[in-house]
Amino acid sequence: MYNTSFGKIGVICGGLSSEREVSLKSGHAIAHALLNEGFDVEEIDLKTEEEGEVVAVLRKAAIAVAFVAMHGRFGEDGRLQAILEEMELPYVGSDSLASAFAMNKIISKTIFGEYGIPTPRFWTMTPSDATEAAIRALPLPFVVKPCSQGSSIGISLVKSFGQAGQAFNAAFYYNNNIIIEEYIDGRELTVGILDNQALEPIEIVSKNQFFDFEAKYSTGKTEYVLPASLAPDIRKRVQTLAFRAHRALGCRHFSRVDILLDKENNPYVLEVNTIPGFTSTSLLPKAAQYAGISFSGLCCKLLELAAGSSISSVTP
């Protein structure tokens, strides 16, 4: 017998972005966990970004609550959330406006500045701006990023101007607006946020020059240290900063905040991920597990937050 607390749950995953395969893995893990908890669950592999078609797919599925597990474009940029809001379907995760703010690195870093949240210095460019003179005016080393991509896609570390052309081309492939960020040599940390609580920081120790796509998804390329080896006052500072960034963008339910800690233990927020990886080995679930929350318990907790009520026991 299904747990009928919320009706049918639709786990929306897949999509058409460069993060499709990662999203499918997240969606499958979430659906599997909720099925094991007795819920009526359907995995919805969304293969369209056209609003009318999305509405038709969701109406056909006849879901009562959506668990959004789509990483990257359309899933994290607020467009899917706006459709769910128009349909008056409750869903897990940040609303359309906060999602759009977090996905756009220029907007999010501007908001961080308005709230006094430290973030690395940055510059923005379009293809017409990226002249040789403009590029050579940038202080080396620097990081080049597409404005609106996740999973470190299209990101390059530039240590010499000879590397700049390839780096800029890689970023412009994904967005016409790119961000050039001051490189800060330090420790990479990530902090999960769950229901207005900052979880234990995780240190990311990559064998690559930085935590790029290969490091994230290739076996043996990265070590994750949980809990991160931090003095108590530094740990508290990092957690507080992560929560401030989450709140500044208007996020809700959960997120994962990426932070750099420089050699003097000064933390800088890089970005807020509103739909981070969601398998049993992903970083937010790892931090939740450390706090005593199982993967299935985490999924159930997020359903509660989306629906605004507690989960009842499975009906006999």
List active site positions. Answer: 19, 151, 217, 256, 258, 271, 273, 277
User: Which tokens hold the place of 143?
Assistant: 């990081």
Round to whole Å and give the CA distance between 204 and 215: 10
**Of 146, 150, 149, which Cα lies nearest the Cα of 125?**
146
Continuous segment of H or E residues that includes residue 67: strand 65-68
User: Which tokens hold the place of 148?
Assistant: 């609106």
CA distances from 75 to 69, 125, 143, 179 (A): 7, 25, 25, 21
**Of 299, 307, 295, 313, which Cα lies nearest the Cα of 6?**
307
User: Which tokens hold the place of 180?
Assistant: 């050039």
**Of 76, 79, 71, 57, which Cα lies nearest the Cα of 14?**
71
CB neighbour list of residue 119: distance below 8 Å, 6 or more residues apart: 109, 112, 113, 268, 269, 270
229-241 burial, b at 16+ Cβ within 10 Å, e below that, comes to: ebeeebbebbbeb
- Percent helix, strand, coil in the chain, to 5, is 35, 25, 40
